[in-house]
Amino acid sequence: MSADATERDVARVVSRVENVGGAAFVSKGVTRTIIGLVGDVTSFHHLNLRTLPGVADVHRISDPYKLVSRQHHAGRSTVWVGQPGQQVPIGPDTFTFLAGPCAVETPEQTLEAAQMAKSAGATILRGGAYKPRTSPYAFQGLGRAGLEILADVRALTGLPVVTEVVDARDVEIVAQHADMLQIGTRNMANFGLLQAVGDAGKPVLLKRGMTATIEEWLMAAEYIAQRGNLEIVLCERGIRTFEPATRNTLDISAIPVVQASSHLPVIVDPSHAAGRKDLVVPLARAAIAVGADGVIVDVHPSPETALCDGPQALLGTELRELAQAVRRLPPVVGRLDAGEVARSAR
Amino acid sequence: MSADATERDVARVVSRVENVGGAAFVSKGVTRTIIGLVGDVTSFHHLNLRTLPGVADVHRISDPYKLVSRQHHAGRSTVWVGQPGQQVPIGPDTFTFLAGPCAVETPEQTLEAAQMAKSAGATILRGGAYKPRTSPYAFQGLGRAGLEILADVRALTGLPVVTEVVDARDVEIVAQHADMLQIGTRNMANFGLLQAVGDAGKPVLLKRGMTATIEEWLMAAEYIAQRGNLEIVLCERGIRTFEPATRNTLDISAIPVVQASSHLPVIVDPSHAAGRKDLVVPLARAAIAVGADGVIVDVHPSPETALCDGPQALLGTELRELAQAVRRLPPVVGRLDAGEVARSAR
Amino acid sequence: MSADATERDVARVVSRVENVGGAAFVSKGVTRTIIGLVGDVTSFHHLNLRTLPGVADVHRISDPYKLVSRQHHAGRSTVWVGQPGQQVPIGPDTFTFLAGPCAVETPEQTLEAAQMAKSAGATILRGGAYKPRTSPYAFQGLGRAGLEILADVRALTGLPVVTEVVDARDVEIVAQHADMLQIGTRNMANFGLLQAVGDAGKPVLLKRGMTATIEEWLMAAEYIAQRGNLEIVLCERGIRTFEPATRNTLDISAIPVVQASSHLPVIVDPSHAAGRKDLVVPLARAAIAVGADGVIVDVHPSPETALCDGPQALLGTELRELAQAVRRLPPVVGRLDAGEVARSAR
Amino acid sequence: MSADATERDVARVVSRVENVGGAAFVSKGVTRTIIGLVGDVTSFHHLNLRTLPGVADVHRISDPYKLVSRQHHAGRSTVWVGQPGQQVPIGPDTFTFLAGPCAVETPEQTLEAAQMAKSAGATILRGGAYKPRTSPYAFQGLGRAGLEILADVRALTGLPVVTEVVDARDVEIVAQHADMLQIGTRNMANFGLLQAVGDAGKPVLLKRGMTATIEEWLMAAEYIAQRGNLEIVLCERGIRTFEPATRNTLDISAIPVVQASSHLPVIVDPSHAAGRKDLVVPLARAAIAVGADGVIVDVHPSPETALCDGPQALLGTELRELAQAVRRLPPVVGRLDAGEVARSAR
Q: Is the pLDDT of residue D279 over 90?
A: yes
Kind of pairing between the strands at C33-38 and C23-28: antiparallel
Q: Provide the strand spans (E) within C66-154.
A: 79-81, 88-90, 94-100, 124-126
Inside any domain, residue B1: no
Inside any domain, residue C61: no
Q: What percent of chain D stands above pLDDT 70?
A: 98
Question: What totals of helices (H) and strands (E) does chain B contain, helices first?
Answer: 12, 13
Q: Is the pLDDT of residue B125 over 90?
A: yes
Q: Is the pLDDT of residue D183 over 70?
A: yes
The pLDDT assigned to C309 comes to 67
For chain A, say whether C45 makes contact (Cβ under 8 Å).
Answer: no
pLDDT, tens digit (0-9, with 9 covering 90-100), for D232-272: 999 999 999 999 899 999 999 999 999 999 999 999 999 98
Rounded to the nearest 5 degrees, what angle is found at the Cα of B225, between the Cα atoms of B223 and B230? 150
Cross-chain residue pair A61–C34, CB shorter than 8 Å: yes
Chains touching chain A at 3 or more Cβ pairs under 8 angstroms? Answer: B, C, D
Nearest CA in chain D to B244: D242
Nearest CA in chain B to A136: B223
The pLDDT assigned to C3 comes to 79
Weakest-pLDDT range from A71-80, B289-298, C156-165, D33-42? D33-42
Q: Is the Cα dihedral D99, D105, D106, D112 positive or negative?
A: negative
Task: Looking at the structure, tell me whether residues D145 and D37 fall in a common domain.
Answer: no
Q: What is the CATH number of the domain that holds C84?
A: 3.20.20.70
Task: Looking at the structure, tell me whether residues B252 and B290 fall in a common domain.
Answer: yes
Give dist(CA C58, CA C65) in Å, integer.
Answer: 18
How many structural domains is chain A composed of? Answer: 2
Task: Looking at the structure, tell me whether residues C186 and C298 fall in a common domain.
Answer: yes
Give dist(CA B116, CA D167) in Å, integer.
Answer: 58
Task: Looking at the structure, tell me whether residues A32 and A123 fall in a common domain.
Answer: no
Choose among A134, A222, A305: nearest Cβ to B219: A134
For chain D, say whether B3 makes contact (Cβ under 8 Å).
Answer: yes
Task: Looking at the structure, tell me whether residues A150 and A285 fall in a common domain.
Answer: yes
Cross-chain residue pair D290–A285, CB shorter than 8 Å: yes
Task: Looking at the structure, tell me whether residues C250 and C107 fall in a common domain.
Answer: yes
The whole-number average pLDDT for the span D178-182 is 98
Of A138, A143, A158, A76, nearest to A104 (Cα)?
A143
DSSP D122-141: --EEE-BSS---SSTTS---
Q: What is the band of C40 on the pLDDT scale with cuts at 50, 70, 90? A: confident
The whole-number average pLDDT for the span A128-135 is 84
Closest-CA distance of chain D to residue A264, Å: 18
pLDDT, tens digit (0-9, with 9 covering 90-100), for B306-339: 766 666 677 778 888 999 999 999 999 989 888 8
Give dist(CA A208, CA A186) in Å, integer.
Answer: 9
DSSP B248-268: SB-BTTHHHHHHHHBSS-EEE
The whole-number average pLDDT for the span D130-155 is 88
The pLDDT assigned to B140 comes to 81
Closest-CA distance of chain A to residue C38, Å: 5
The pLDDT assigned to A310 comes to 66
Q: Is the pLDDT of residue C56 over 80?
A: yes
Of C195, C166, C165, C167, nearest to C177 (Cα)?
C165
pLDDT, tens digit (0-9, with 9 covering 90-100), for D97-122: 999 998 999 999 999 999 999 999 99
Task: Looking at the structure, tell me whether residues D87 and D164 fall in a common domain.
Answer: yes
pLDDT, tens digit (0-9, with 9 covering 90-100), for C123-135: 999 999 998 877 7
For chain C, say whether D20 makes contact (Cβ under 8 Å).
Answer: no
pLDDT, tens digit (0-9, with 9 covering 90-100), for C173-208: 999 999 999 999 999 999 999 999 999 999 999 999
Mutation site for C-interface testing, chosen from B215, B290, B327 by largest number of C Cβ within 10 Å = B290
The whole-number average pLDDT for the span C94-110 is 94
Cross-chain residue pair B256–C291, CB shorter than 8 Å: no
* Residue type for position B280: V
Q: What is the band of C289 on the pLDDT scale with cuts at 50, 70, 90? A: very high
ipTM for the whole complex? 0.90
Spatial neighbors of B19 by CB under 8 A, at least 6 apart, are none
The pLDDT assigned to A237 comes to 96
pLDDT, tens digit (0-9, with 9 covering 90-100), for A161-219: 999 999 999 999 999 999 999 999 999 999 999 999 999 999 999 999 998 999 999 99
For chain D, say whether A292 makes contact (Cβ under 8 Å).
Answer: no
Q: Is the pLDDT of residue D321 over 80?
A: yes
The pLDDT assigned to C127 comes to 94
Inside any domain, residue A188: yes
Q: Provide the strand spans (E) within A219-344.
A: 232-236, 266-268, 294-298, 336-337
What is the average pLDDT value for chain D, to the nearest integer?
90
Give dist(CA B297, CA B320) in Å, integer.
Answer: 13
For chain C, say whether D138 makes contact (Cβ under 8 Å).
Answer: yes
Identify the burial level of D346 via C-beta atoms within 10 angstroms of its C-beta, where 0-12 means exposed, 13-18 middle and 19 or more buried: exposed
Q: Give the DSSP letter of residue D208.
A: P
Closest-CA distance of chain A to residue C57, Å: 8
Choose among A244, A253, A289: nearest Cβ to D250: A253
Q: Provide the strand spans (E) within chain A.
A: 23-28, 33-38, 79-81, 88-90, 94-100, 124-126, 161-164, 180-183, 204-207, 232-236, 266-268, 294-298, 336-337
pLDDT, tens digit (0-9, with 9 covering 90-100), for C76-92: 999 999 998 889 999 99
Task: Looking at the structure, tell me whether residues A39 and A132 fall in a common domain.
Answer: no
Q: Which residues of C touch D45 (CB under 8 A)?
A: 138
Choose among C29, C242, C244: nearest Cβ to A38: C29
Give dist(CA B249, CA D116) in Å, integer.
Answer: 45
Cβ(B239)–Cβ(B274) under 8 Å? no
Nearest CA in chain C to B273: C253
Q: Which residues of B touch D57 (CB under 8 A)?
A: 61
Closest-CA distance of chain B to residue A14, Å: 15
Spatial neighbors of B244 by CB under 8 A, at least 6 apart, are C213, D244
Inside any domain, residue A71: no
Inside any domain, residue D285: yes
HSE-up (13 A, CA, CB side) for residue C2:
15
Q: Give the DSSP letter of residue D201.
A: -
Closest-CA distance of chain A to residue B152, Å: 26
Nearest CA in chain A to D278: A256
- Mapped onto helix, strand or coil, the DSSP state of residue C180 is strand
Task: Looking at the structure, tell me whether residues A186 and A295 fall in a common domain.
Answer: yes
- Run of H or E residues at C296: strand C294-298
Spatial neighbors of A316 by CB under 8 A, at least 6 apart, are none
The pLDDT assigned to C69 comes to 92
Q: If contacts are CB pairs under 8 Å, which of residues 316-335 in chain B contact chain C?
A: 328-329, 332-333
Task: Looking at the structure, tell me whether residues A325 and A200 fall in a common domain.
Answer: yes
Nearest CA in chain A to C39: A29
For chain C, say whether A245 makes contact (Cβ under 8 Å).
Answer: no
For chain C, say whether A43 makes contact (Cβ under 8 Å).
Answer: no
Q: Which residues of B touch A137 (CB under 8 A)?
A: 42, 45, 64
> Which of the two residues, B314 and C339, has the higher pLDDT score?
C339
Rounded to the nearest 5 degrees, what angle is found at the Cα of C298, between the Cα atoms of C295 and C304? 160
Task: Looking at the structure, tell me whether residues A30 and A112 fall in a common domain.
Answer: no
Of D42, D33, D40, D31, nearest to D12 (Cα)?
D33
* Distances from the Cα of A333 to the Cα of A112, A132, A337, B25, D286, angstroms: 32, 36, 12, 52, 11
Give dist(CA C137, CA D19) in Å, integer.
Answer: 20
Weakest-pLDDT range from A308-317, C154-163, D8-17, D280-289? A308-317
Cross-chain residue pair D245–A254, CB shorter than 8 Å: yes
Give dist(CA D164, CA D155) in Å, integer.
Answer: 19
Cross-chain residue pair D278–A256, CB shorter than 8 Å: yes
Domain limits for position B31: 7-51
Task: Looking at the structure, tell me whether residues D144 and D265 fall in a common domain.
Answer: yes
Inside any domain, residue C56: no
Q: Give the DSSP letter of residue C44.
A: H
* Distances from the Cα of A205 to the Cα of A80, A163, A165, A188, C194, angstroms: 12, 9, 10, 11, 50
Q: For residue C188, list its beta bridge partners.
A: none
For chain D, say whether A283 makes contact (Cβ under 8 Å).
Answer: yes
Inside any domain, residue C242: yes
Q: Which residues of B touch C291 (CB under 8 A)?
A: 282, 285
Closest-CA distance of chain C to residue A118, Å: 37
Weakest-pLDDT range from A8-22, A114-128, B214-228, B249-263? A8-22
Inside any domain, residue D67: no
Q: Which residues of D touch C169 (CB under 8 A)?
A: 168-169, 192
pLDDT, tens digit (0-9, with 9 covering 90-100), for B154-166: 999 999 999 999 9
Q: Is the pLDDT of residue B181 over 70?
A: yes
Cβ(A334)–Cβ(A294) under 8 Å? no
Give dist(CA D318, CA A256) in Å, integer.
Answer: 14
Chains touching chain D at 3 or more Cβ pairs under 8 angstroms? Answer: A, B, C
Give dist(CA C79, CA C232) in Å, integer.
Answer: 7
Cross-chain residue pair C290–B283, CB shorter than 8 Å: yes
The pLDDT assigned to A254 comes to 97
